Structures are given as C-alpha cells and as structure tokens.
Structure 1
Amino acid sequence: MLAGNYLGSHGRKVVAALMVVVLLAVYWQGLASPFVLDDFTNFKGLENVTDSVASFLSYITNNNSGILGRPVSMLSFALTYTIAGSVDPFIFKLTNLIIHIINGWLIYQLMQPLMGFCGYGDNKKNAALCVAVFWLFTSLHGSTVLYAVQRMTQLSAMFSLMGLWLYIQGRISCIAFGKGRKRILTAYCCVILATLSKENGVLLLLLFFMLEVTVFHYRGERGKSKILIASNVAVLGGGLLFIAQLATTENIPFLDYSQRPYTMLERVLTETRILWVYVQEIVLPSGVDIGLYHDDIIVSKGFFEPLSTIVSVVAWLVVIGLMGGMLVYKKYTLSLVGICLFLAGHLLESTFINLELYFEHRNYLPSLGLWIILIDVCVKVAEKSEYRAYLYVLASFILMINVYVICVESGLWSQTYKQSKLTVLKHPDSYRAQNQWAAELIKYERYADALKVYTAIGEKHKRLNPVSQVQKIWVYCMANLAPHESVYSFDIVYMKGADALLYNSAWLYLLDEVQAGRCEHVSIPSIIRNIEGWLRKEIVKEGGGDALWDITFVWLKLNEYQYGAENSLYKAEQIFALGGVKAGIYAVSRYLSMGLIKKAESLYQTIERAISAEKKEQYHEDMVIFSQRISAGK
C-alpha cells in the first residue's frame, strides 16, 4: 500500500468507507458523554436562540472566547441547537465527529497534489490516504472530538485545510499553466474564516509562506512570481510590526503572567519539553497523559531544572539544523513540510502567550505534520523491498495502538466516575483532577470521602486552600451535617485571574446551596461574620471595594437570606458610602425589584451626584435602565 499502487479507485473507496464505520464505532460510547468545563459557559444562552436573525446575532456576538469572539464557531453551535431543538451533548458531539471526518477527507484531497508535486507519481493517492487514516485515528484527538466546545479548534482546522488545498492547487496551476489565481485568492479568504473560528487560524498565512519556501520557491509560469514575493513580505512584515508593537505595549492581558505560577521564559522553556511529549503521544501513545487535566506539569525554572529542559532545547536545535540542511539541499521536501507544519501550528499556543501549559487539542492540525513525516519516511524505506514487511507491521502496530487508546478514552468519557478516578491516579498532583474527583464523590453521596479530598487539596495546593475551605462548607450543606466550629475559621483572600474564577465559583455554589435551603446545620451567621470582618479591613485598602465585588455580593445575599432584604440593602448602602459603586448599583436594582421606587430614586440621585465621570460612563447602561424604570414606576 505504501510502496506500490496496490489500491485502485474502488479499493480506496472501500478503505474510506471502512474507516468511517470504524470511527463511528470507536467514538460511539463517548458521544453520549455529558458536557464538561467550558462547554457550559459557551453554550449558555443557546436556549434563547430562535428562528429570528436577532436571536442568532445576540448569541454569536455575546461570547468572550478569544479576542475576536469566534463568531463562526458560535454560529455553528447556534445552528446545531436550532436543528436539534435542544442542547443535547450527543448531537453536539456527533456533529464534531462529522467535522472530524470531513477534515480527514480534506487532508486526503490536499495531500494528493502536494505529494504529486513532490515526486510521488502514481503512488500519491495511496500515500495521501495513509496520511488521512493515521490522522483520523490519532488518539490525542479524542478529547477534541468529545469535548464539544473544541469544535472551535476543529472549524479553524477545517478552514485551514480548505485554504491549504486551494493554495496548493492554485500554485501548481500557476506554475504549470499561469492560472490558479482565483483559487489562491479564495485560500486567503479561508484565513478569515479560520481566524473567526479560533484565533490561531491566522497561522494559515504562515503555512502559505512555509509552502513557498519549502515546496514552490515562489515559482511562476516564467521564473519567480514577484506578486507572491511582495505579498509574503507584506504579510510577514505586518506580523513582525504587530509583534514589535506588542513588545512595547504595557498591560496586555495575554502577555500578563502576574497571576501565573511561572514567567514567560519559564513557559517557553517548559513548552520545549511538552512539544516532545506531544510527539510521543501522537505517534506512539502511552495512554498515561491522555485527558483534560495537565495542570501538574513540572515547570522549567531554567535550562537545567529539570535536566530534561536542556535536552529538549538541544533536540529542537538539532531539528532546526536538519530543516536547514533539507532546505539548502532540497532533499526530503515532504518531511520538511511536515516539520514546519507541526512547529508552525504550535507557534501561538505553545510559545510566549499567557495560556495554560498543556492541552491536547493544540495538536489537532499540527499532528498532521508528524504523519506526513512518518508516511514520507515509510515510503522511502519501503522502496527497499527487504524492509517492506517490517514496515507494514510497524505501521499497523502504531495505528492499532491509536485505535485502542481512542476506544478506551471514548468509553471513559461516558463513565465520568471511572474517568475521574483514573485521572486522579494518573495525575495525583493535579488540582483540577482532584477537584473533579471530589465532585464525582459528592454526586454519589460519598461526602466523607469528598471532605478528605478537599482537605488533601488544601494541604497540597496552599495557594488554593481558600477555595477548598469554601467547598468543604457546601459539602456539609449537601450532606446535611453540622460542621466543626473550626470550619468557620476559613481564610478569605483577594484572588485574581484563573484562581479568582475558581474562588468566586465556590462562593456562588455555596450561596446556591444556602438559598435552596440545604444548609440547615451550617451556621450562616458565622460565615457572614467572617466575611464582614475581612471586608471591613479590605474595603478601605481597595478604595471602596469594587474590586472585591464578587465576595461582597455573596455576603449581601447571605445577609438577605439570614436577616432580610432591609438589612442587606442597609449594608449595601454603607459599602456605597465607602466608595463601592457596584454595591450602590445593586441596591438600586433590588429596591426597584421590590417596588420601593422612592428609595430607588433617592439612591439613584445620590449615585448620580457622587460618582466620577469615568464611573458614570462605566455604569451608563445601568443608570439609563434605572432612570426608565423609576419613571415608569411613579
């Protein structure tokens, strides 16, 4: 199959059909798995989508994922919901699998002209099919297909693959016949769609440049194409100017590492090791590191801490040296394309930008590069017939290992209890894995075990101990148990970034339990007193407490539950008097909802007089709504 043209057109269709059936079989169990993590935040509001254009636009434009909002991906979620009629995980994940299959077909299509141009001749279709099959069954893609919200990654890859296919066809046509400009232009349009699906789609421009440098060498029908050279220089020049602008600009969120347990340099050094882990897990997965939680990775504090850092850096320098040799001597061109594709695909998410260290979905498109290398090497080795049989055995083994790991992972996705337990065993130092395990224990009413897990989390992850302390209180609520008095001596801290999201979510979850009346044996007054004592000190430091609004909001709501709305609103006005504008806005809103129009109007006028022009602009929309509601209520 690799060395000769053993499969005809009919044979390739049979193989393709068989691959689709096998893909459905190995992923089927996982398609019924529940939503997780970011699924909930991104699918929030889908129930408000109707047949009207306005409802679609409202959902598409109110997303905070990425700096562009990812409208193409959000549109696809809205369409899935409209067709399905509900937010059904099975339908969303089945759609992801269909997109995955489409992407495999696109890989088959784009690899044929590329391989033909690189000298594969009649064997290009079989070799292209091999690349597509190995990519489709890459076990690392399991969490991309089954994690519904990662359709963003899939769509970005889909438009990137379309763009590559069109660009390759257009360039070959341009070199051979002086035509193909429309296809090239359409390929550049795919950059827009890929980027609006997920921001790393912009790397498609870099992939076009990579193809020119490694494969096409800016050739036209008659010598070098000046237009292509100029366009590439313009795009790369613009990119370099943009990077230079970023480097000289302060307070850019995705370059701010103040809330991370590592610096930018430490992240870059760590990623040199992680990239090699990706390589190993793509080609020959161990199954050990497959999953969603990888927050236990050891950070590289320097080139020699850990020692594997310098080994990884040197190894990548060797790879770059080999790339230079391939480029100069114009040998192993297809393998060179594969290396470039893998590294270019990781340029944004695995370098300097302030992101989590490790995520499997980052390899969705870059993994194609590794399979291109593998098939290219296999084809060249298979030309020597004495090695052919061993090669087939090795290739089949690699494919079977990937299929097996997908089967196991798909089954685990549908069994969340078992998945969480195994993830904790694989990642005992992962805060998120431990947190998920505690949630599963609570689901099965194993409250004592859940309390032990939260205690262990607090001891192991000191920075997040305040989160665990709050979580322990709502476990007591759900267990209908009275906690020891020491439980109320919890630490209250001011957190930022990702830690703040965890902390605030824990408090809001506790508030939900209290308001639902499930905390009969928990002393709400003790919680209120602890928060109030901390707020009295911190509000003065923070100049009014707007920065502390999340915990303040919980405190006010607990007061309302325990002592009534009048007590809560009195305290809200006290905080406003100290400079907490959000507390004042909250109080006006509550007065209006209670029908106390005069009190609402009085406080509204006080806020109007007291706050600065900057604050007025910040809360302009709220104030306009309040004014209208007050006028209507008189």
Structure 2
Amino acid sequence: MQTPQSPQRRFLPFVLLVAGLALVAGAYSLALPGYWLFDDWPNLAQLIQVDDIRTALHFILAGNAGPLGRPVSLATFALQADAWDTRPEAMLAVNFGIHLLSILAVFFLAAGLARIGPPQDALRARWIGAFVALLWGLAPFLATTHLMVIQRMTSLSALFLFAGLALFVWAHLTDRRNLRLAALVAGLGLGTLLATFSKENGALLPLLALTILVLWIPREQWLTGTVERLALGLLVLLPSLFILGYLGLGFIETLQRGDYGPRRDFTPVERLLTQPVILLDYLRQLLLPQAVAVTPFMDHIPPSRGWLEPPITLVAWLFWGTLVAAAIALRRLAPWFVFGLGFFLLGHILESTHIGLELYFAHRNYVPAFGLFFALVYFALTISPAHFRVAAVVLLAYALVYTLVLFQVTAHWNDKRVNAELWLEYNPHSIRAHQFLAMQHMAAGDFENARQTLDRAADRQPEVLLSQLQRTAICVNNEDSFPELLAEVERALRTSSLYRPAVAMELNRTARRAEPSPLCPPRTHAALIRLADALLDNPRYGERSFTRSHLLLAKAYAYVEKGQPEAAVPLFKEAVRERPDIHAAFQAPALLANLGQYEEAYEFLDELEALIPASPLEGRLWRQRLEAYRGLLETSEHIDRQEGRLEPADQAP
C-alpha cells in the first residue's frame, strides 16, 4: 500500500510531531522540581555574584568548563542567575524547552535528508522526519542531558548543530540562489560558531555536514555554483580538515606521551581499547533502553587493560569492524546503513577517541544518536512501500516503549533515596554514586550508613581523595576512633597518585565554616589544617597553582576561624600570588586593617595592581574593586586614628 496521499492526511506527520512534542514535554515535566548535581556547583556557583550586566559579562567570559569557555551556554545561565541555587526547576524548564526546539530541528533535518534520498516523496519524507524526531526526542538514554542542569551546554550546542545541518540540507532543495547561499552561511557559519561556543563538540558541525554530502547527497545534486562551492570549501571542507588534523596530531602526541598524567588511571592505549566496548553499550542502551541505566553517575567504568581483559574488548572490536565493513560493502544497496553508521561514529570522534576525558557519559550520544534513528526509520518506511502502514505501526509501538521507559525515569527522578540505591547497584564502581547515596542517608539521619557508604567508596577507589576527605566529616557515635581515621586519610592525601582538584576545593569550602563538621566534632579547623598540609606535601597537588592556591586558602580561613589572623595573612597573600582570585584578593588587607597594620595593607593593594588580569573585562572589574577597597581602607584608617586605635607614628603611604 502506498503512502497516503489524500489532502486530509498530508498533515498527519505534523500531528505525530506535535503529539511527540506534547509527550516529551509531559514526561519531562514529571521530573520537576529536580535538584542540583555534581558538575553544577563548580560551573555555576559564581552565579551568586551576578547582579548586573558587568558581573554577568564577567561570569559569561570567565568560564573554564572547556577550552573555549562556552560563553553562549553561560549566557543562558546568567539570564537565570536569580534561580541559583534555590530553584533548579527554573533552569530545568529551560533545558526541556531547548530539547523541544532540538526535536523540531531534528524533524527538519531528517525530513530534508529523506526528501533528497530515494524515493524523493515529500509526504514520506515528512513521515520519516516525524518518526525520527519522535524516537530521538523520547529516547530515555538521552534523558540525563536535560535532567542535569549543567548539561544544557550539550543540548544547546546540539540545537545549533542540528539547525545548522538542517539549513545545509535544505539549501540543496531550494532553487532560489540567494536563499541557498543564505542558508549555507547561516547554517554552516553562524551555526558552527554558536554550537562551538556552547560546547566544543559543536565544532563537528562541518565534519557532519561533509558526512552528509559524501555519504548521502547524490553527486548530481551537489551545489555547483562558484560562490556556493567557495562557501562549501570555506565552511565545510577547511574546518573538517582542521578538525581531523587536530585530532590526528593530538592522537600521535597522546600516544607518544603514553599517559594522561595524574588525572586519569588509564593510558591512551587502554582508552582506545575501551571505546568500542563503550560504543557497543551506548548502542544497546539507545535501542533497548532500561530505566536503571538512565543515571547521572557513569564514572569509573573499568577500562580494558588488554584485548581479553575483559574478553568483551575483542568482541566489541570485531563487532564494529564487521559492521563498518558490511556498511561499506552495502553502500549502494543500503545507503541509509552506511550514512547512519558513519554519522554515529563520527559524532563520537571528539569525545570518545584519544582525548583524556572520562570514559563514559550518556549525553555524548545526544548528537550521534541521530544517525542511528534516521537509519532505522528510513529503512522501516522505505524498504517496502506496500507495507508502509505496517512499518508505521511498528515504529509507533517502538515509540510507545520509549515513552513508558521515559515516564518511568522522570516520574521517579525526585525519589533520590531509591534512585541512589539503584544507581549504585547498577554501577558499583562509581564514586559519585557512593557520594550521592551517602548524602541521602545523611538527609534521612542515617549517619552510620552514610559513613559506611563512604568507607566502601574509599576501599574500592583509595586513590580518589574526595571520598577520603568526606569520610572524616562523619563520626557520629564513633568519635574515639577519629584520630586513627585522620592519620589514615592524611597518609592517603600524601601518597595518592591520582590528581582530582575537587578535593582541594572542598577543603577550601569546608574551612570557611564556623562549624566545619557538625557530624564529627573532632574534625576541627586544626584537623583541616593538617589535612591541607598533607595534600600540600603531595607534589601532584602542592606543585600545581590551582590546587596549591585552594589549599593555602583552606589553611588561611581555618586560621581565621581559630582566631589566629596573624597566621592567616601570609597564607592569603601567597594563595593570591599563586592564582589571582578577586574573591580572595582582599582577605589579607581586611585582616591587616583589623590588626591596625595599614601600611602593609596598602603595600599588598599595590601588589594586587600588578596581578590584574590582561583580559579587558576582568581587568576593569579588578580595578574597580581595588579602587573601591582602597577607599574603604582609607576610611577605616581615618576612623581608627580619630578614635585613637592607631599610634600617631603610624603613617599611611
């Protein structure tokens, strides 16, 4: 039976699309209000400083989540600064809205691709676009991309990428030359910039456009105009060659170096061995979803140490090798197969090859998964025109399964205690899952199980120092054993060979509290100073500016809380010299003013002038703060002199 052609049925694909959007919106709304997760804090904590355009610009341009700073994503967070850190539902609602827009972009991309490919049936192309958008939008395995606030960076980048690719494809379907050129420039030029500055893997847009051009668009439909070919050369070919060259040179350099340094407990070779195993699991979770696999905690997936360690390593390599060979052999008979596979694998080329990132994250599939769903739907709806309706019913049933699993995930997302147990059982290697479960035990007042959970994490991964530190914060009904625990953790801090800067940041945060450990009174500020000293003795932490600065600040704040400001002043100074930080810069002058040592305070303000960052925006902010603080210092000194708290011999510069 042919695709329905009656006028009334031409709009049915759009009905399916709208229904899909409503289903997705309804499913994700069940996950509200949601909550903050591990990567939200280091990336968004400075939102508390955003209260005007100047501070918003500073937040947007000072990002360090990636090498390019991701300012487009940070701009969207800055617009919601008032939601931090009390209203995660406000930020999650924007995440869900971005996903809905991405579904529309996927519809236009898939429909455009189907319109180009045989049988070039406009109605069938709309059906293909609607089903691809439906399955991709409902895919449960991709849900953490939206349920984790910070992963807006992934979805926003993907929105621009899919929109850019859609414009690129539809440029091949219009006869209007000016419109075609505008679509190429907007899609490939502006789309690449916006996607890349949302998250770095947006730079794959030109390479994926090249994939579409080579593996899908027939040669006779390539654009042949001089200006258009120039645009394709500048906006597709050159960026693709740059990306491939960058990855190739990086690959050679990484293999020559032989390791990732202290940040990772696996080598580049082990990472490459492991990736086919991970891609195989991605494929399984995307096509055969299970609710328990939709977890934010995917760290510490054990890497493959050899071809048979574990045996699935060799199996995965043979599987993907066979699949690629079959796709190439069948490229003329089944172009959807080679295109879908090529899009999926090339979509992973940046985050899932040799670059020293963590091994496994579901959100890395947000863009690559499009290739799988397009190939699946295109095959189902074009392989046998006589069975179009049967194929459509099967796809609807498949979408229903996705819907049920997604609703299962989102309806229970806020049941943190149950999820914590399930997620840890699913991934017993995850340190973050241990920490999350411990937090739920603590929220329920079950401090003994919270401590036991952290102890298990430390036993399984003794090199991960954050869990070692967190153990010392809980010793309810076990205070007598704290000295032994403290000594054990000190030894771990001094000797660990794994570099994770979060432990230094956590020490810094803890030391600022008047009561650092309510659940373990023996862990006083003096104990925190011992822990900071132990970590400073570890060259992996003590010789790196970032962590050394945080540890010096931890000691300084601890001394302030102990009532020893004289000991804190030199530590604050050294910390700022090590890593200029505008939020810590004025701690030393403030303490010196309290001690009546104004001359030394002015001298350090002069020193801060030399530490002003080169960035125009940051530099301006520093100068404004310095000028304001100098005025406060002069006022304070004047008052102290008037009230006789300073000796007459004291002179200001």
TM-score by length of 1: 0.84
Distance 1:365 1:414 in 2: 26
Change (3 A) 1:553 1:303: same
1:191 matched to 2:192? The reply is yes
Partners of 2:241 and 2:603 in 1: CA distance: 53
Query: Equivalents in 2 of 1:537, 1:196: separation in Å?
Result: 38
Separation (CA, whole Å) in 2 of partners of 1:128 and 1:92: 29
Q: Which residue number in structure 2 is paired with residue 111 of structure 1?
A: 110
CA pair 442-16 structure 1, distance change in 2 beyond 3 A: same
Q: Secondary structure at the match of 2:488?
A: coil
Q: How big is the shift at 1:494?
A: 5.1
| Aligned partner of 2:599 among 575, 598, 601 | 601
Distance 1:566 1:157 in 2: 52
In the alignment, the residues of structure 2 paired with residue 22 and residue 529 of structure 1 have an alpha-carbon distance, to the nearest angstrom, of: 53
Partner of 2:640: none
The structural deviation recorded for 1:382 is: 4.0
1:448 equivalenced with 2:452 (yes/no): no
Q: Which residue of 2 aligns with 1:150?
A: 151
**CA shift digits 1:314-333 (9 cap, x unpaired):** 22222222332344xx3322
SS of residue in 2 equivalent to 1:23: helix
8 Å contact from structure 1 (residues 480, 521) kept in 2: no
Residues 484-505 of structure 1: per-residue CA shift (max 9 Å, x gap) = 4323323332589985333224
**What are the Cα deviations for residues 286-338 of structure 1, in whole angstroms up to 9, with x where unaligned?**
334221111242211122221111221122222222332344xx332233322
Paired amino acid for 1:554: A
Residue of structure 2 in register with 1:320 after alignment: 324
Q: How far off its partner does 1:413 sit?
A: 1.9
Counterparts of 1:307 and 1:252 in 2: how far apart (Å)? 27
Would the alpha carbon gap of residues 259 and 494 (structure 1) be closer, same or farther in structure 2, given more than 3 Å must change? Answer: farther
Aligned residue pairs, count = 618
Give the match for residue 88 of structure 1: 87
Per the TM alignment, residue 279 of structure 1 is displaced from its structure 2 partner at its CA by 1.0
Partner of 1:566: 566
CA distance in 2, matches of 1:112, 1:314: 33
Letter in 2 for 1:334: W
Shift of 1:210: 1.0
**Alpha-carbon shift at residue 592 of structure 1 (Å):** 3.0
Question: What amino acid maps onto 2:89 in structure 1?
Answer: F
Report the more deviating stretch, 156-165 or 484-493. Answer: 484-493
Q: Is the alpha carbon distance of 1:617 and 1:597 closer, same or farther for their aligned partners in structure 2, counting shifts above 3 Å?
A: farther
- Supply the distance in 1 between the matched residues of 2:336 and 2:548 (Cα, whole angstroms): 56
Q: 1:269-348 counterparts in 2 under 5 A?
A: 269-327=273-331, 330-348=332-350
Q: What is the alpha-carbon distance in structure 1 between the residues aligned to residue 546 and residue 23 of structure 2?
A: 55
Instruction: For residue 358 of structure 1, report the CA deviation from its aligned partner.
Output: 0.9
Match of 2:470 in 1: 471
Paired residues of 2:95 and 2:155 also in contact (CA < 8 A): yes
- The one-letter code of the counterpart of 2:469 is V
Structure 2: how far apart are the matches of 1:552 and 1:177? 62
The alignment status of 1:267 with 2:268, answered yes or no, reads no
CA contact under 8 A between 2:128 and 2:377: conserved in structure 1? yes
Give the distance between the partners of 1:544 and 1:3, measured in 2 at CA: 64
| 1:584–1:603 Cα contact (<8 Å) kept | no
Distance 1:246 1:335, change over 3 A: closer
Counting aligned pairs with the same residue, the percent is: 20
CA contact (8 A) 1:335 1:372 kept: no
Cα drift, residue 482 of structure 1: 6.0
The residue number in structure 2 matching 1:62 is 62
Over 3 Å counting, the alpha-carbon distance change for 1:600 and 1:144 in structure 2 is: same
CA contact (8 A) 1:61 1:71 kept: yes
Match of 2:641 in 1: none
**CA offset at residue 209 of structure 1?**
0.9
What is the CA-CA distance between 1:587 and the residue it aligns to?
10
* Matching residue within 489, 492, 496 for 1:491: 489
Q: Residue 173 of structure 2 aligns to a residue in which SS?
A: helix
Which residue type is aligned with residue 351 of structure 1? T
Superposition deviation, residue 243 in structure 1: 4.2
Q: Secondary structure at the match of 1:413?
A: coil
More deviation in 33-42 or 510-519? 510-519
**Contact 2:557–2:568 under 8 Å retained in 1:** yes
Q: Quick one: distance in 1 between partners of 2:453 and 2:404?
A: 31
Letter in 2 for 1:95: V
Give the Å deviation of 1:119.
Answer: 1.6
Further displaced range: 247-256 or 307-316: 247-256
CA contact (8 A) 2:185 2:231 kept: no
CA drift of 1:255 comes to 8.6
1:523-552 alpha-carbon deviations (Å, 9 max, x no partner): 63762674487489679x968999634334
User: Within 5 Å, which residues of 2 pair with 1:541-580?
Assistant: 548-569=548-569, 572=571
Q: Is the 1:572–1:587 Cα contact (8 Å) retained in structure 2? A: no
Q: CA RMSD in A?
A: 4.3
Alignment deviations for residues 123-142 of structure 1 (CA, whole Å, 9 cap, x no partner): 22112211111111111121
Q: Name the structure 2 match of 1:461.
A: 461
Say yes or no: does 1:160 pair with 2:157: no
The Cα of 1:59 is off from its aligned counterpart by 2.5
| Residue 36 of structure 2: aligned partner | 35
1:423 and 1:198 map into 2 onto residues whose CA distance is 27
Change beyond 3 A, Cα 1:543–1:275: closer
- Taking structure 2 as the reference length, the TM-score comes to 0.82
Unaligned stretches of 5+ residues in structure 1:
none
Q: Which residue identity lines up with residue 301 of structure 1 in the other structure?
A: R
- Shift, 1:362, TM fit: 0.9
Equivalence for 1:349: 351
Farther off after superposition, 56-65 or 223-232: 223-232
What SS does the corresponding residue of 1:276 show, helix, strand or coil? helix
